[in-house]
């Protein structure tokens, strides 16, 4: 299917589908790298840090890297194209693994934090895969393209924790040192995959065209989409990064922790095989709302007990909730901008999401250490309620605008 968008950009779904295959594979490998950090970060941090309350700082540095890399990723994409940004990101991924392995071998907490920060920069580039999949695609195919790329994370959920399980003791007593070396190799494989992505070349309009950013982000629909992303991802990250250390504090094994993270990541990305279809049928706002409610449900499970089964159920439900809310919020963002505005709007959206994650992540270690696992779960409920209110207000504003324009004999804007 080929059509022409409002900006005369030709939509080629055949090319978009080919890109989706490569981007989904890259998503799987990048997600595996992230899974290694999530599964090991707080444990390595507890081993290397001078104080137990600093155990989750490496994971916080990963999130800081996510936030720090979003705007530069958008700038590189606008100036040199998406593929250049992707190759740069995978190079940072390889450097992450090498630095992390070196840090563990030499017992350097600061160097390990640097490694996870670099991993966050890599992750920030990978976050643009979902938006890149929609470039050049028809309006009908865009939600599915986003969803299918996110589905690549299913394989990350299997591959990442298994890499940790297979390699964590190879260089004993340096736990996880070899895991990070393997992570570097995986990033190099991803580099070869993204090098073949066929993306539209940056046009002059992409550098200077479109509406001012403030005009775009002032739309109620963008505000709701960004706010729900800001809630969905940081709340998921708070619970997920705290869970491995909380399980260890509750006397559960490292295998139990790895199993929980593995199925959490599968639950994060598995629904992507049908999330796009659900969005097409019910609309993005309803799917986002369902996801936020599932995140609240996961927190409720976490409050109900501290057995391995409780942790696993919490992580699985949390993953599904994140998928619905984050993929849905991403689809909402795509409805708020024109093609020539995409890079700056998408980068700004991700900066908000991961900037808030970075701020919140530094409190997770203190929250868990000082107040316990129950407090981590209790924090989830107020933001979820705020997100549901924002969705309701955005829906009301859209209906009101449509009624006013219909009364004036105008056609409602799609954006």
The answer on pLDDT for 325 being more than 90 is yes
Token digits of residue 342:
């995409």
Per-residue pLDDT, 208: 62
116 or 402, which is more confident? 116
The answer on pLDDT for 7 being more than 80 is no
CA gap 371, 367 in Å, rounded: 5
Helix-then-strand count for the chain, H and E: 18, 2
The answer on pLDDT for 77 being more than 70 is yes
Q: DSSP characters for 238-254?
A: HHHHHHHHHHHHTT--H
The answer on pLDDT for 217 being more than 70 is yes
- Give the best-scoring range by mean pLDDT among 240-254, 313-327, 341-355: 313-327
CA gap 164, 171 in Å, rounded: 12
Per-residue pLDDT, 357: 80
Token digits of residue 229:
């992303």
Q: Which of 114, 89, 112 lies closest to 43, judged by CA?
A: 112
Maximum distance among all alpha carbons in the chain? Answer: 74
Per-residue pLDDT, 358: 78
How confident is the model over 382-407, as pLDDT tens digits? 999 999 999 999 888 878 877 787 77
CA gap 261, 241 in Å, rounded: 9
Q: What is the mean pLDDT of residues 344-371?
A: 82
Per-residue pLDDT, 105: 96
Q: What is the mean pLDDT of residues 128-138?
A: 82
The answer on pLDDT for 1 being more than 80 is no
Per-residue pLDDT, 300: 97
415 or 273, which is more confident? 273
Per-residue pLDDT, 223: 92
CA geometry: angle 365, 368, 369, nearest 5 deg: 80
53 or 167, which is more confident? 167
Per-residue pLDDT, 192: 96
Q: What is the mean pLDDT of residues 193-213?
A: 75
CA gap 233, 358 in Å, rounded: 11
User: pTM of the full predicted structure?
Assistant: 0.75
273 or 105, which is more confident? 105
Per-chain mean pLDDT for the chain:
86
Q: What is the band of 214 on the pLDDT scale with cuts at 50, 70, 90?
A: confident
CB distance 96 to 33 below 8 Å? yes
Q: What is the band of 6 on the pLDDT scale with cuts at 50, 70, 90?
A: very low
How confident is the model over 83-105, as pLDDT tens digits? 999 999 999 999 999 999 999 99
Burial of 165 by CB count in 10 Å (0-12 exposed, 13-18 middle, 19+ buried)? middle
Q: What is the band of 200 on the pLDDT scale with cuts at 50, 70, 90?
A: low
CB distance 211 to 103 below 8 Å? no
Q: Which of 25, 26, 9 lies closest to 137, judged by CA?
A: 9
CA geometry: angle 109, 115, 120, nearest 5 deg: 125
Q: Look up residue 168 and give its DSSP letter.
A: T
Per-residue pLDDT, 414: 47
CA gap 390, 69 in Å, rounded: 27
First to last CA, the chain: 22
CA gap 360, 358 in Å, rounded: 6
Per-residue pLDDT, 205: 56
How confident is the model over 275-311, as pLDDT tens digits? 888 998 899 999 999 999 999 999 999 999 999 999 9
Token digits of residue 364:
């997770």
Q: Domains in the chain, ordered, with CATH?
A: 2-407 (1.20.1250.20)
Per-residue pLDDT, 130: 84
Host H or E run for residue 120: helix 109-127
């Amino acid at each position: 299917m080929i059509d022409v968008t409002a900006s005369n950009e030709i939509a080629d779904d055949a090319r978009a589908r080919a890109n989706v295959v490569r981007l989904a594979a890259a998503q799987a490998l990048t997600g595996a790298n992230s899974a290694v950090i999530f599964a090991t970060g707080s444990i390595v941090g507890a081993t290397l840090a001078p104080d137990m309350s600093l155990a989750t700082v490496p994971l916080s540095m990963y999130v800081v890297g996510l936030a720090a890399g979003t705007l530069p990723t958008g700038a590189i994409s606008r100036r040199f194209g998406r593929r250049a940004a992707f190759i740069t990101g995978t190079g940072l991924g390889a450097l992450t693994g090498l630095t992390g392995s070196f840090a563990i071998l030499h017992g350097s907490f600061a160097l390990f934090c640097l490694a996870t920060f670099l991993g966050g920069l890599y992750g920030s580039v990978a976050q643009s895969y979902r938006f890149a999949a929609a470039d050049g695609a028809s309006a009908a195919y865009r939600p599915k393209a986003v969803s299918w790329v996110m589905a690549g994370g299913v394989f990350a959920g299997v591959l990442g924790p298994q890499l940790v399980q297979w390699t964590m003791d190879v260089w004993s007593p340096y736990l996880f040192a070899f895991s990070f070396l393997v992570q570097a190799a995986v990033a190099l494989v991803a580099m070869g995959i993204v090098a073949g992505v066929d993306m539209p070349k940056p046009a002059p309009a992409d550098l200077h065209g479109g509406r001012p950013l403030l005009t775009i982000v002032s739309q109620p629909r963008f505000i709701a989409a960004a706010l729900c992303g800001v809630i969905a991802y940081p709340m998921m990250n708070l619970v997920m990064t705290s869970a491995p250390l909380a399980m260890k504090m509750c006397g559960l094994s490292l295998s139990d922790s790895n199993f929980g993270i593995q199925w959490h990541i599968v639950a994060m990305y598995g629904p992507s095989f049908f999330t796009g279809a659900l969005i097409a049928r019910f609309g993005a706002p309803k799917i986002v709302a369902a996801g936020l409610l599932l995140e609240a449900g996961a927190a409720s499970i976490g409050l109900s007990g501290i057995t391995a089964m409780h942790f696993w159920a919490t992580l699985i439900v949390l993953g599904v909730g994140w998928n619905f809310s984050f993929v849905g919020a991403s689809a909402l963002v795509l409805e708020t901008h024109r093609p020539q505005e995409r890079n700056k709007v998408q980068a700004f959206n991700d900066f908000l999401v991961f900037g808030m994650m970075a701020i919140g992540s530094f409190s997770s270690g203190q929250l868990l250490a000082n107040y316990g696992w129950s407090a981590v779960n209790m924090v989830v409920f107020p933001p979820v309620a705020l997100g549901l209110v924002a969705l309701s207000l955005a829906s009301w504003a859209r209906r009101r605008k449509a009624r006013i324009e219909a009364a004036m004999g105008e056609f409602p804007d799609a954006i």
